Structures are given as structure tokens and as C-alpha cells.
Chain A
Amino acid sequence: MNPASCGTPAANPWLAFPVQITGITDETPGVSTYELQLTDAEVARNYRFQPGQFNMLYLPGVGEAAISLSGQSESGDRLRHTVRLAGNVTHSLAGLGVGGRFGLRGPFGTPWPMEECRGRDVVAVAGGLGLAPLRPAIDAILNAPDEYGQLTILYGARTPEHLLFEQVYPDWRQNGAVVNVTVDRSLPGWQGHVGVVPLLVDRMQLPDPENTVFLICGPDVMMKYTVSSALNRGVPAERIWINMERNMNCAVGLCGHCQYGPEFICKDGPVLRYDRVQPMLRVEDL
């Protein structure tokens, strides 16, 4: 993937662009979606991202965090990032509030294989916060239903309280997607499914496994067993794509932090075809 075609507006990969927070939506405990506007009109006009890509959010004096784009506003000029409170950067971000200003570098990384999805059934499998990087892909498919086959969204969260973007599931269903949700731990009043995400893959309708593309995003172990279930159902390894998370520092393959075997997750990933990383998923501490 040529990053230039992904709309990175910077000639110098270290240059951060000023952004301003235009909206904050509290999603689940500790998770919020920040809507950011690039304040330089020229930069905003040239900025393009593809589903699955991430930005480095830069809080001067604090540091950077790699955050996947979880969507954009209708007008297209506001970028959504769904962030879990984790470390210094995300805590400082939480302290800013609407109107807060900081920096952004990006977009970086490989996108979901939307071309490969065209004309095929697509299964988006997410665990926890992993639904955020998948959301732009889901939106893209539902916005162009004629170009894709059936979209199935399988999503697992820790408890019913941790279900991300719950308010949009009805829209997704209305637009033709099958949405199956499960939780690891039930809470009183929960009428939905209990159990881990791979079970949903075991049980789903899969009429044409050889022509179905799997897009998977979640913790490593969840992805490993989801892949295993998909393979069991007859989905070829080369139709399975996973989104890997590593410690990204420079985001452009120059600092070595996010190496996973031969891959730099930041520039060769985060979206990787399963058959390319399959041998490495078996080795611990790689």
C-alpha cells in the first residue's frame, strides 16, 4: 500500500497537524469517542483515510497514542476516534474537553481490504474496543449495499454495559446487516447472547464460505480462536484479515517498536492477511 495514496498530507512524517475537539461522546465505562477537526483548512481538504487506518494523536509535552479512526462526520471534515482511557496520553486527552487543541499525524497503516470484499459476503468480527476500527468498514459496506454481499457483524463485549455503539445496531440491521452480539458476562436483565465471540462464528449462517471475507479485530487470543472457527467453517486463510495492535511509536516503520516477525505493524499492518502472520501467531513472546 502506497501511503501517499492513503491521503497522508505530510511530506515530513514527523509533522503533526493542529486539531480541535468538536465533540465528545461517552460510549461505555472509560471509553469515549472524540470528534476532531483539522484546523488548517488546506490540510483538512487534503486529508483522506481508508477504513482500518489509524492516526497518531499527539498531546504536546505528553506524547502520542495510536488510535484507529472509527468514522467521520456526515460532512466528512470531522474525524472520529474512539479512545479507551489507558495511559498518559489518553488521560490528558480526557482532561481537554470540547474546544481542546492538540496535534495529529496520519493517517497511517494498511486499510481493510475493501476491494477484496466487493461482491462477496463479509463477516466483521469484533471484540471489545475492536469494533471501533471496523466501524468505517461497516459504514462503507452499508453505504454501498449493491457492491457487497451479505454483511454479518459478530460482536463480543465484556458485559452488556461494555457494548460499543449500541445505539447504531438497529440502523445496521435496518440497512441489511445481520448483527449478532454476545457478552462474556451477563448482567441482570440481559436478554441477549452469553458466551465468547468464536461461538457466533461456529453457529452463523455461512452459505458460501469460500467466497466470504472475514475482517477481525480484537485482542490477540480472541482473534486466534475466531480465525480457528472461521477456518473450521471452510473459510480460506487468504480471505481472513486481522487487525494487530503493537506498540507504535513512529507510525512509519522507522523506529522498530511494533515489529512482529518480519512485519512492522504500523506500516505493513495493522490490517494483515492471516496467512501472512499465521506462522508467528503460534510463537509466544515474538
Chain B
Amino acid sequence: MAQPDVMQRLREIPFSARLPEKALTDLAAIAEIRSVPGGARLFREGEPHCCIYLLISGSIVLEMHVPGRGKVQILTIGPGDVLGWSPVVSDTVMTATATTLEDTELIEIQAGALLQLCESDREVGYFLMQQMAAALSRRLVATRLQLLDLFAETTPQQPSPL
């Protein structure tokens, strides 16, 4: 039986706020609220992991290891964000290491159970995957903007009149 609190939190988070009641109940049944202190490692790059997370409060840094440069911070995850989707969208290992930067509250969902839920009830699955796709799309745009390096000093293509 899901904690009533989980239902409430799921309703407050943009990812799940608009899910139909049925999907929300099913999701709450496989979700759990967790409080994590700052500095804790949620998962590690290159290792498999069990869960996907929705962040309620706090922040988490994603890092990737680059030989010669060490750990490079890629992105800071904040309230409302989805984190750790690798076990849901593929069966491979995690692509980054996630570490809490402060006391953080999150909803932890078992990836296997989530996939099972999507399989068994395709309608619920559709809603969930739609949200997942939207979250991925937002992340992709943000990554593109980062890639554009918008604040770089532009090198004039021609002598500047200024």
C-alpha cells in the first residue's frame, strides 16, 4: 500500500501532476519518498542501477569521468527534475555519477516495477513515457544551449567597427 504522502508529492511534481488518478495510484504503489543527506552518492557512472528519481527538493550534481581531466560536472539537477532514467529507457549502465549537493528529498521509483507497470497497463505506460519523453526533450534542449557556448567571446569574422 502506498504512503498517502507519496500520492500528495506526486501530485505536486510537474512530471506526474497531470497523470490520471489510476496511473498516479499505480505509480505511488512502487514509489517511496527518501531523504538523502548532502554528499551522498545515488549512483555511479558505468554501474547498473535499480531506480529512477523525481527530485522534490535539494540538488544533485551529475558528473562524468574524463581521463586526464578527472570528474567533470555536467549538470546540476534541481527540484521537479527527473533523474536516472537509464534503467527505464535501456538496460545498460548509468551514464553519469550522481551526488547530492545538500540535504535532498526525492521520490525513488523501482525501475523494474515501473517497466512492468507500463507493460501491464499500456495506457498508464503511455502517460508515463510521454512525461519521460518531455523530460528528455527539455534536457536535450538545455544540453544544446550549453553546447552553443553562448557567452563565449566571439572572434570577429571581420574587423569590428566598434
Contacts and interface: CB of A to CB of B under 8 A. Distances in A.
A119 interface: no
B60 to A, nearest CB: 11
A191 B142 contact: no
A11 to B, nearest CB: 26
A194 B142 contact: no
Interface in B69-96: 70, 72-76, 78-81
A203 B150 contact: no
B162 A188 contact: no
A87 B162 contact: yes
A247 B81 CA distance: 39
A198 B148 CA distance: 14
A86 B152 CA distance: 12
Nearest to B160: A87
Interface string B123-162: 0000000000000001001100110111111001001111
Interface SS of chain B: loop
Contacts of A218: 150-151
A196 B161 contact: no
A286 interface: no
A17 to B, nearest CB: 20
Nearest to B141: A225
Nearest to B59: A193
A204 to B, nearest CB: 9
Interface size class of A (residues with CB under 8 A): 35 or more
Contacts of B159: 87-88
B149 A158 contact: yes
Task: Report which residue of B72, B73, B146, B151 has the largest number of chain A beta carbons within 10 angstroms of its beta carbon.
Answer: B151
Contacts of B81: 203
Interface residues of B, number: 29
A184 B80 CA distance: 20
B153 to A, nearest CB: 6
B113 interface: no
Nearest to B55: A203
Contacts of A20: none
Given A84-B153, A184-B146, A195 B162 contact: no
Nearest to B69: A188
Contacts of A198: 142, 145
A158 B152 contact: yes
Contacts of B80: 202-203
Interface string A193-230: 11110110011000000000000001101100100000
Q: Which 3 A-B pairs have the closest CB atoms?
A: A87-B160, A128-B151, A186-B73
Interface of A: 30, 63-66, 84-90, 127-129, 156-158, 162, 182, 184-186, 188, 190-196, 198-199, 202-203, 218-219, 221-222, 225, 247
16 contacts: A87-B159, A88-B160, A186-B72, A188-B70, A190-B73, A193-B59, A194-B73, A195-B142, A195-B146, A198-B145, A199-B78, A218-B150, A221-B145, A221-B150, A222-B151, A247-B162
